[in-house]
């Protein structure tokens, strides 16, 4: 352990300044002569990537944040956190940059899939459970992005304008609950401004609320490239500026200290916090410079499958179309059937140990009758990446990647590095090799062999941050170098996907070659963050006549007993770096679903998305599952629920509106000349839909089961400190299964407008067939009853009558009981 007081006396001012920023993209600075080691950070919110975007070590991928929230199960989220902690140790990481705990304010947020819910209580309790699990392993969790980082459009400059009440009740509440319950070791600041000030330099948010009012003790770090000042950020309480090296935390800090813009004691406070984290990290027992490895073990696989299955929400099950039969003839149709949509895009993405497709999961369940597959329609935004469908120079699955110091025009150039990669989706921000160190420009080459299954025309796609050209059997097919068009790839630094078409014959081998120039060769101009190295993505897909493919799907559907249609979005549609423009499913997906249902009423639709999608065919579909981005085990988990091996118990952690225009942020989403007005105020999600009596597609908390549950005997008792609620849950019919009882509270005579009801607690209970169990929760009275009083700058619990509304979704409240509070009081803190 470091003697912090002694270290502060011995550290030079230059070393103190160095400790306040990253040494590189993933590590803090070390001072070896004083025994101060570097710490390693790693993404992420749904799995531990390690330190490599490029050629990363495979990892356990959990369901996306929305899927984790859909479990409504703090116990299993705690287990997830424990496993994340152990995964971090295998990657040599002391600090996990997660969980993400921003509010799903509207359905279009690009990173909405990373967060848990539209409800602050569900968000905060879910985050707290995962954090507690991570911290139990002595790995540090970093709750992010504090606060109001809920859209991607102009995220570094956007000014989020909102009332203090909305800030407190909706956006800060998840962080408040997680800090109260789990005390994460670190907090990451948001990119955006809140009411005019960037969070990373806002003393009100970082010092007044986080450190003083909540009495939280831990380290505050910036999001990557989310620091915009020197003295303002340090004085506000930002301990570490990431990544490094950074100009903000170098000679500029020393200049500001000399000018007394930063006081010496303030500098020492920031350094003390860093050293406290170093001491805390020592308990994890992670040796220095650990070589990253994986933990692909049966216990991890079983947990991932369990969580993914529990996250799936059965939205509809008319005529008991589910569970499906394992002995009937089955068709699996749809663009998401043979693709494992395991995570969203951006910094949450990682290389999984493996990823099970829905088609593979379903095929493994069928014991007789066989499975027929039809793609039916295109579901991709960018062509499916090559790698899983190609071989390297040595015949392994994937692609070969070579690095050069000379451009392709040099005929006798020799490569300085060669690697075999699983895919040709490469973000080279952290790629390093001695031969290219210090070179602003280097070159690469992707080599692969592709053997198509069918004869026909194929599209190749090429997306680059840098420059690139694609060749098939030596013929130039795509030139993404001479002329380039800006796109959304590689955090908006890359090009659009340029496409070329080639006629290929089934069973024949084709040589794919891509010439690549690193980031500095790009011809694009951008104001966004610049990443060293650049990026490259190569895709391929068969050109299909979608109308003919839909007709083919219809005929197949008519000829089988049961149909599963797999549709949804993926990491191309939902990603860090940009927001969605609508809630539509891709391309002709809706037409495909509608016509297949018409052809065979025994059709079940499996939707995979991170955020809500419109379902114009929902009324006539008998069965609908929402399966989210399900992690490594996504295909197995879907099949488990479809065939009844798992009794579904997931609940929607956010409302699915019928149309985009129905949602409360419709008129107030995206940046308008650098600001966004939170015009819906506290009326986020179900609070809004219920207040204006707007009909929705599927309400918050909704989720069916193969069992029939009945609630009875609601009991409520209130003391000066607690509200204790219990209720009996009976499994009246069907198999054993779990039900989530949701407890909402309504104030009868508030002095200001409040939402019709607010979720304040929930409990997931397993109920054996035919039996009854009791579900109980204990809620702090002040959290159960209070709203934020802007005039007093404090929370207020009013003397009044309150109702506890118990149900299985926000629109299915079965029972109600009341309690009284004896006096009005104000409070602050946790």
Can you give the residue ranges of every domain in the chain? 39-244, 379-543, 708-827
pLDDT value of position 370: 86
CATH code matching the domain that covers 379-543, chosen among 3.30.450.20, 1.20.1050.10, 3.40.50.300, 2.60.120.260: 2.60.120.260
CATH superfamily entry for domain 39-244: Glycoside hydrolase, family 3, N-terminal domain (3.20.20.300)
SS (H, E, C) 58-125: CECECCCHHHHHHCCCHHHHHHHHHHHHHHHHHCCCCEEECCECCCCCCCCCCCHHHCCCCCHHHHHH
Query: For residue 365, is it left (φ>0), alpha (ψ between -120 and 50) or beta?
Result: alpha
Provide the β-strand partners of residue 675.
159, 672
H or E element that contains 232: helix 231-236
Tell me which H or E stretch contains 781. helix 781-785
Q: Which residue has the tokens 């039809």?
A: 374
794's enclosing H/E stretch is: strand 794-797
Catalytic (active site) residue 811: no
pLDDT for residue 492: 85
Name the strand (E) or helix (H) holding 754: none
For β-strands 675-677 and 787-789, DSSP reports them as unpaired
Residue 682 in contact with residue 169, Cβ under 8 Å?
yes
Domains 379-543 and 708-827 share a fold: no
Q: Which CATH superfamily is domain 708-827 in?
A: Immunoglobulins (2.60.40.10)
Output DSSP code: residue 451. Answer: -
State pLDDT tens for residues 785-815. 999 999 999 999 999 999 999 999 999 999 9
SS3 718: strand
Question: Between vectors from CA 529 to CA 153 and to CA 348, what angle results, nearest 5°?
Answer: 65
Which tokens belong to 780?
A: 């702090």
Check residue 235 and give left, alpha or beta (phi > 0: left; psi -120 to 50: alpha): alpha
Check: CB of residue 775 under 8 Å from CB of residue 714. no
Under DSSP, is residue 662 helix (H, G, I), strand (E, B) or coil?
A: helix
What pLDDT, on a 0 to 100 scale, did the predictor assign at position 289?
Answer: 82
Residues of the chain with pLDDT under 70: 527-529
CA distance linking residue 1 with residue 35, whole number of Å: 9
Nearest alpha-carbon partner for 720 in 805, 649, 799, 806: 799
CB 436 within 8 A of CB 442: yes
d(CA 484, CA 466): 10
Query: Torsions phi, psi of 739, nearest 5?
Result: -130, 145
Q: Could you give the 3-state DSSP secondary structure of residue 374? A: strand
Half-sphere exposure of 247 (CA within 13 A, CB side): 2
Catalytic residue (choose from 73, 223, 425, 789): 223
Query: DSSP characters for 161-193?
Result: E--HHHIIIIIIHHHHHHHHHH--SEEEE-SSE
* Residue listed under structure tokens 């990443």: 531
Spatial separation of the C-alpha atoms in residues 377 and 366, rounded to whole Å = 24
> Quick one: 547 exposed, middle or buried, by C-beta within 10 A (0-12, 13-18, 19+)?
exposed
For residues 248 and 229, give the distance between their C-alpha atoms in angstroms, rounded to a whole number: 7
Output the pLDDT for position 526: 72
Predicted pLDDT at 531: 79
Distance CA 466, CA 619 (A): 47
**Structure token digits, residue 272:** 């003390």
Are 648 and 623 spatial neighbours (Cβ–Cβ below 8 Å)?
no
């Amino acid at each position: 352990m470091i003697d912090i007081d002694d270290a502060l006396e011995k550290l030079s001012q230059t070393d103190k300044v160095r400790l306040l920023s990253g040494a590189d993209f993933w590590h803090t600075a070390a001072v070896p002569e004083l025994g101060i080691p570097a710490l390693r950070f790693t993404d992420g919110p749904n799995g531990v990537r390690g330190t490599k975007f490029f050629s990363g070590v495979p990892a356990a991928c959990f369901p996306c944040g929305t899927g984790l929230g859909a479990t409504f199960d703090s116990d299993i989220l705690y287990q997830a956190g424990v496993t994340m902690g152990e995964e971090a140790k295998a990657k040599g990481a002391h600090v996990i940059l997660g969980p993400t705990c921003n509010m799903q304010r509207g359905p279009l947020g690009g990173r909405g899939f990373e967060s848990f819910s539209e409800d602050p209580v569900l968000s905060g309790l879910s985050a707290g459970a995962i954090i507690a699990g991570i911290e139990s392993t002595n790995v540090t969790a970093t709750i992010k992005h504090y606060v109001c980082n809920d859209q991607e459009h102009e995220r570094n400059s956007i000014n989020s304008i909102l009332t203090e009440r909305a800030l407190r009740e909706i956006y800060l509440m998840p962080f408040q609950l997680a800090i109260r319950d789990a005390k994460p070791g670190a907090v990451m600041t948001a990119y955006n401004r809140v009411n005019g000030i960037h969070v990373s330099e806002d003393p009100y948010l970082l010092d007044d609320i986080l450190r003083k009012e909540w009495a939280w003790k831990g380290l505050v770090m910036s999001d990557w490239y989310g620091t915009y000042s020197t003295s303002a950020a340090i004085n506000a309480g930002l301990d570490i500026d990431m990544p490094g090296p950074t100009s903000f935390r170098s000679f500029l800090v020393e200049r500001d200290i000399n000018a007394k813009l930063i006081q010496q004691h303030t500098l020492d406070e920031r350094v003390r916090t860093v050293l406290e984290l170093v001491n805390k990290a020592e308990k994890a027992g992670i040796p220095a410079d650990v070589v990253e490895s994986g933990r692909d073990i049966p216990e991890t696989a079983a947990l991932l499958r369990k969580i993914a299955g529990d996250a799936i929400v059965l939205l509809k099950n008319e005529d008991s179309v589910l569970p499906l039969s394992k002995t009937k003839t089955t068709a699996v149709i749809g663009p998401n059937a043979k693709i494992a949509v395991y995570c969203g895009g951006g910094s949450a993405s990682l290389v999984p140990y493996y990823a099970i497709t829905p088609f593979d999961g379903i095929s493994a369940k069928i014991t007789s009758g066989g499975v027929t597959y039809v793609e039916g329609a295109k579901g991709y935004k960018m062509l499916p990446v090559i790698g899983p469908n190609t071989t390297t120079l040595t015949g392994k699955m994937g692609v070969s990647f070579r690095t050069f110091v000379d451009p392709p025009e040099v005929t006798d150039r020799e490569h300085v590095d060669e690697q075999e990669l699983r895919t040709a989706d490469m973000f080279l921000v952290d790629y390093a090799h001695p031969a290219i160190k210090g070179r602003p420009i280097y070159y690469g080459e992707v080599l692969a062999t592709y053997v198509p299954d069918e004869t026909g025309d194929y599209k190749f796609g090429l997306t680059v941050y840098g420059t690139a050209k694609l060749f098939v059997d030596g013929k130039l097919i795509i030139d993404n170098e001479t002329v380039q068009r800006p796109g959304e790839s590689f955090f908006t630094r890359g090009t659009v996907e340029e496409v070329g078409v080639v006629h290929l014959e089934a069973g024949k081998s084709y040589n794919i070659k891509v010439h690549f120039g690193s980031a500095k060769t790009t011809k694009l101009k951008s104001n966004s963050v610049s990443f060293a190295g650049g990026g490259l993505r190569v895709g391929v897909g068969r050109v299909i006549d979608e109308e003919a493919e839909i007709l083919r799907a219809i005929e197949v559907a008519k000829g089988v007993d049961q149909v599963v249609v797999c549709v949804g979005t993926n990491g191309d549609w939902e990603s860090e770096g940009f927001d969605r423009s609508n809630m539509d499913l891709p391309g002709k997906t809706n037409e495909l679903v509608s016509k297949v249902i018409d052809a065979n009423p025994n059709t079940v639709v499996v939707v995979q998305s991170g955020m809500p999608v419109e379902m114009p065919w929902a009324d006539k579909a008998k069965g609908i599952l929402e399966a989210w981005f399900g992690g490594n085990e996504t295909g197995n988990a879907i099949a488990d629920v479809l065939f009844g091996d798992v009794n579904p118990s997931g609940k929607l952690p956010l409302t699915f509106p019928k149309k985009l225009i129905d949602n409360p942020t419709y008129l107030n989403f995206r940046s308008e000349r650098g600001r966004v007005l939170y015009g819906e105020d506290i009326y986020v999600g179900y609070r809004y839909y219920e207040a204006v009596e707007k009909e929705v597609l599927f309400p918050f908390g909704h989720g069916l089961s193969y069992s029939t549950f009945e609630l009875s005997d609601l009991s409520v008792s209130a003391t000066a400190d607690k509200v204790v609620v219990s209720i009996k849950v009976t499994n009246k019919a069907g198999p054993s299964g779990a039900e989530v009882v949701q407890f909402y509270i309504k104030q009868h005579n508030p002095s200001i407008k409040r939402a019709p009801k607010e979720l304040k607690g929930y409990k997931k209970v397993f109920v054996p067939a035919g039996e009854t169990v009791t579900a109980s929760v204990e809620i702090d009275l002040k959290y159960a009853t209070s709203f934020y009083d802007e005039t007093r700058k404090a929370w207020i619990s009013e003397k009044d009558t309150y109702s506890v509304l118990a149900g299985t979704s926000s629109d299915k409240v079965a029972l109600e009981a009341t309690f009284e509070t004896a006096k009005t009081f104000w409070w602050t803190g946790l």
